Structure 1
Amino acid sequence: MKSSIKALAIAFGAWLTISNGFLMVAGGSYNYKEALTKSLLFLEAQRSGKLPPNSRIPWRGDSALDDGKRSNVDLVGGYYDAGDNVKYGLPMAFTITTLAWSALAHQAELEATGELKNVHAAIRWGTDYFLKASSKRNKLWVQVGDPNADHQCWVRPENMNTPRTLYKIDENDPGTEIAAETAAAMAASSIVFRGNDRKYARSLLNKAKLLFEFAKNHQGTYDGECPFYCSFSGYNDELLWAASWLFMATKRDVYRKYITGEAITASVAEFSWDLKYAGAQILLSDSNLTGEDGLQNFKTQADNFVCAVLPDSPFHQIYISPGGLIHLRDGANTQYVTGTAFLFSIYSDILAKNHQTVSCGNQVIHPTRLREFAKQQMDYLLGSNPRSRSYMVGFGNKSPTQAHHRGASVPVLSPEKKVDCGTSFVNWYQKNQPNPNELTGAIVGGPDRYDNFEDLRSDSSKLEPCTYINSLAVGPLAKLAVHGA
């Protein structure tokens, strides 16, 4: 057995270990600073609107400059969520909330790597858009672009001619998930900007308060983003998430009382754009451990998340691939990988600061184990896997060349060029060759549950990148860049 493992190690070019019955490829040493920098470049490649003079993506240009015009509102800006040209409010807000949390939890590391300003710029690109989208009380513009029409044309955003249909929520057609997530994004971001732009931070916080009240007082699920972003988890997690960030931003008793008296919480094994309970529980666990009255149960539920994920926990629920990767479901599965690494990285610091551990029944899990698992998950994405390949475009060994992404896969065209949607898929989508524009830093959807992966653009579940995959990677990469393990 030992000799066969050694032979496999030589074949993979890495050391292999057996952990809880899984064949794990041990992480090597990566240039995490490079990975962090490139991860932020991908977010810049997702910008919509009028790009700044210092744009670092040479093949991207201005796009969607008339967004909102049909309803006499300025909705220029924001982010495209993935490889298409629609602006979806729910994943965009989650991207900004998690970026803001990284900027707060890993401020020192981001400063040390020289990337804090770029993170702040990425956050502000989103919050500037949200301020426009929420300019009217009890109304929030939540989507720009007809997704069905958009998906019928493989065209760069700079050349798109598909309908920029507008979607909103209001008192008559509520959307608690999106209103609450946008409130969370603006509350978290207000803390980020408090030290260097107090006026802007105040504007964000005031809007966050109004959006939370709107979400709380006009409850209802918005299904307009379905089937592309269906909120299967409901909106109670977003209400808790938003209230938690407003409590962090204000320390006001009204939010603490809502958290302890009205909000619904639950133990879960996932953290994603659709399910935020674990994030809120870890965020609140620090207040619990430092003596905030009434928040006692959140440390227990945060522990339950850890116990459900760790493969060596007696209560683990999450499938781990033979090569050691978290796999919850096909389609942007790497969001659960970076999401877990993100929360484990933050929670390990909270536990260490408060001299605490995680209890999984009779098993005690130390903060170092959380850091170790977070590193192992990130290392898998960067190359420590059975295929010895990177899942970040433009980084490491055998990185993806065919990201499922319109802007990257279509050559730069004249802004006046009219693209024929009927032939666009033949011209660019179906070609089995590398993208003409490198989508540097994009973490693609990743391998299947058996670690299988083929670099083929048409396989969107494996090759499509998303902003929230990368926003969740920023914190762990910054921490690894400075501290290593």
Structure 2
Amino acid sequence: MQQHQLQLQDDTEVINLPNSTDKYARHLGLAILFYESQRSGKLPVSQRILWRKPAHLSDGWQIGRNLSGGYYDAGDFIKFGLPAAYTASLLGWAAVDYAAGLRSANEWSNNLAAIRWATDYFIACHVKPNEFVVQVGDPKVDHQYWGSPEDMPPSMARPVYVASPKYPGSEPAAETAAAMAAASIAFAASDPRYSATLVRHAEQLYRLARQHVGLYQKGIARQARHGMQGVKDCYESSGYDDELAWAALWLYRATKKPGYLRESEAHFARALRKSGDLSGSFLSWDDKAPAVAMLLARHTGKRRYLQLAQRYTQWAERVAPRTPGGLIWVKGGSEWGSTSVAMSTAFLCAYYDDYRPFVMHLSRSPSLEKFVKQQIDYVIGENPARRSYIVGADRSSPQRAHHAAAQGVPKGEGWRNYTSMTPNRHVLYGALVGGPDRHDMFIDRRDDYRHNEPALDYNAPLVLLLARMNAVKHRRSSHRLA
């Protein structure tokens, strides 16, 4: 292992990034580190990102709860529950099925810390068995502010939105149940008491999501006051059956109760009736169906799931459009976050290739592995622009990510230098930006939030895929999964 010391642009801030000379292990460490830049609340003594300060310590005051933790969503300071829970579920997946990749990169404990920062917050948000806070902050207010989170005027409202029997919120409740169930497996050996706590919350949230069904944006809209936006034009869900299937499946993995597996299959059947074949879809904060298909195929060995999984990987490898430089392009997704769409799609193909020798008794596919490697290598620099789309990875990385905290403007300056071409004051290590357009074009401009903004959910499949790539490279991947 080699320790690289990197100098931040503010020369009073120096951090050590533990990473090896292996490219996948190094980028895995960076991708996990990004989540420390997104932390809200009181920061721990173990905080490695030194320019971040405590912020929004009074979140939750309206309901008499301390909701100061959790993660900011992207370049802003809203705490959206659905994408945050999706993020935590994928970080948990990495810990459960690719622990070897995390451990060999010396990132196991950092990934657990990233998960726990999320799950501790989810526990705080679970104020009653049938009441769960799904959002703190509102884009109507938040997107009027540009600066550091600790400098945000206290007069700027940070409303609290909940899911409950009165205000159904099936998607974030179920997604959080999945995240907590996955985390319970990750923490089972090191902290069994915490693991049991996570299972208890996961089961309660799943019941809330299943018994009081409804699109969560409708419940939030009914709570919004004074012209607030809620999740409108941000994270509006297309349906909840996939999240219910995802939650039940992870509860099955955590508890081994066969009833959860049966429920997952039933929810998934309803999701498929709405979406049809999975070709053309991608794993995201809004759609878990492709991932559910992979896990059901692995856990049940049933032909219909195996065929779904196989058709999906064949579509991704052989049919899906590519940019001229080779990045997979999924219509309806890649226009906004092309790198993350490629990472989630490549990971599902890799996961299928990993388990099929043991479930289908088929050898691994060299062509599928080549496709997976091409996608991750494109993102870390093997593309026509010779650019890494991960901030802080090398000199080619974006320097002007759309990120209010990272720009580091002085208090009160606000939007004055928003469009400046001066690099951000702070290096947002490990952040995966949205990425290039259909023609491999990318311009490093701060005001291009479509292509140059990072987000929690963008990094999640990157972590998952890098953990897998590192595990395979060290020939210690957890192919024989529990």
TM-score calculated relative to the size of structure 1: 0.85
Identity of aligned residues (%): 40
In structure 2, the residue corresponding to 1:168 is in which secondary structure? strand
Residue in structure 2 matched with residue 288 of structure 1 by the alignment: 300
Q: 1:164 to 1:157 in 2, by over 3 A?
A: same
From 215, 222, 226, the counterpart of 2:216? 222
Unaligned stretches of 5+ in structure 1?
1-28, 290-294, 358-364
Residue in structure 2 matched with residue 322 of structure 1 by the alignment: 324
Deviations 1:332-366 (A, max 9, x none): 22221111122222222111333544xxxxxxx94
Residue in structure 2 matched with residue 278 of structure 1 by the alignment: 290
* Residue identity in the other structure for 2:236: C
Unaligned stretches of 5+ in structure 2?
1-20, 221-230, 475-482
From 468, 472, 477, the counterpart of 1:479? 468
In structure 2, the residue corresponding to 1:141 is in which secondary structure? strand
From 250, 254, 261, the counterpart of 1:249? 254
* Residue identity in the other structure for 1:69: W
Query: 2:102 and 2:374 mapped to 1: Cα distance?
Result: 21
Residue in structure 1 matched with residue 456 of structure 2 by the alignment: 467
In structure 1, the residue corresponding to 2:146 is in which secondary structure? coil
Residue in structure 2 matched with residue 21 of structure 1 by the alignment: none
In structure 1, the residue corresponding to 2:132 is in which secondary structure? strand
* Residue identity in the other structure for 2:164: D
* Residue identity in the other structure for 1:344: C
Residue in structure 2 matched with residue 73 of structure 1 by the alignment: 65
Is 1:297 the counterpart of 2:304 in the alignment? yes
In structure 2, the residue corresponding to 1:228 is in which secondary structure? coil
Residue in structure 1 matched with residue 245 of structure 2 by the alignment: 240
Query: 2:385 and 2:46 mapped to 1: Cα distance?
Result: 37
Query: 1:260 and 1:439 mapped to 2: Cα distance?
Result: 40
In structure 2, the residue corresponding to 1:346 is in which secondary structure? helix
Residue in structure 2 matched with residue 139 of structure 1 by the alignment: 131
In structure 1, the residue corresponding to 2:59 is in which secondary structure? coil
Query: 2:77 and 2:64 mapped to 1: Cα distance?
Result: 21
Query: 1:39 and 1:62 mapped to 2: Cα distance?
Result: 22
* More off after superposition, 99-108 vs 155-164: 155-164
Deviations 1:290-346 (A, max 9, x none): xxxxx4422222122212211x2xxx2x32111111223322222211111222222
* Residue identity in the other structure for 2:329: H
Query: 1:355 and 1:453 mapped to 2: Cα distance?
Result: 41
Q: Is the 8 A contact 2:419 2:445 kept in 1?
A: no
* Residue identity in the other structure for 2:262: K
TM-superposed CA distance for 1:163, in Å, is 1.4
Query: 2:394 and 2:359 mapped to 1: Cα distance?
Result: 37
Q: Is the 8 A contact 1:327 1:448 kept in 2?
A: no
Deviations 1:247-306 (A, max 9, x none): 1111212212213345424232311111000111111221123xxxxx442222212221
TM-superposed CA distance for 1:473, in Å, is 1.0
| Structure 1 segment 83-482 matched on structure 2, within 5 A | 83-161=75-153, 162-223=156-217, 224=220, 225-232=231-238, 234-261=239-266, 263=268, 264-266=270-272, 267-268=277-278, 269-289=281-301, 295-310=302-317, 312=318, 316=319, 318-328=320-330, 329-354=334-359, 356-357=361-362, 366-411=364-409, 417=411, 419=412, 424-427=414-417, 429-482=418-471
* More off after superposition, 348-357 vs 71-80: 348-357
Q: Is the 8 A contact 1:325 1:377 kept in 2?
A: yes
Is 1:44 the counterpart of 2:36 in the alignment? yes
TM-superposed CA distance for 1:142, in Å, is 0.6
Q: 1:243 to 1:296 in 2, by over 3 A?
A: farther
Q: Is the 8 A contact 1:270 1:305 kept in 2?
A: no
TM-superposed CA distance for 1:74, in Å, is 1.5
From 18, 25, 30, the counterpart of 1:33? 25
TM-superposed CA distance for 1:76, in Å, is 1.3
Q: 1:455 to 1:123 in 2, by over 3 A?
A: same
In structure 1, the residue corresponding to 2:216 is in which secondary structure? coil
Residue in structure 2 matched with residue 16 of structure 1 by the alignment: none
In structure 1, the residue corresponding to 2:115 is in which secondary structure? helix
Query: 1:109 and 1:398 mapped to 2: Cα distance?
Result: 26
In structure 2, the residue corresponding to 1:331 is in which secondary structure? coil
Deviations 1:425-461 (A, max 9, x none): 113x121111010001111000001101101110001
Q: Is the 8 A contact 1:288 1:299 kept in 2?
A: no
In structure 1, the residue corresponding to 2:161 is in which secondary structure? strand
* More off after superposition, 124-133 vs 471-480: 471-480
Query: 2:160 and 2:282 mapped to 1: Cα distance?
Result: 31
Query: 1:433 and 1:39 mapped to 2: Cα distance?
Result: 24
Q: Is the 8 A contact 1:349 1:367 kept in 2?
A: no
Query: 1:433 and 1:460 mapped to 2: Cα distance?
Result: 16
Query: 1:483 and 1:178 mapped to 2: Cα distance?
Result: 33
Q: 1:64 to 1:301 in 2, by over 3 A?
A: same
Query: 1:402 and 1:157 mapped to 2: Cα distance?
Result: 18
Query: 2:185 and 2:357 mapped to 1: Cα distance?
Result: 23
TM-superposed CA distance for 1:37, in Å, is 0.9
Query: 2:61 and 2:419 mapped to 1: Cα distance?
Result: 34
TM-score calculated relative to the size of structure 2: 0.86
Deviations 1:200-234 (A, max 9, x none): 111111111111111111110011412111112x1
Aligned-residue RMSD, C-alpha: 1.8
Count of matched residue pairs: 430
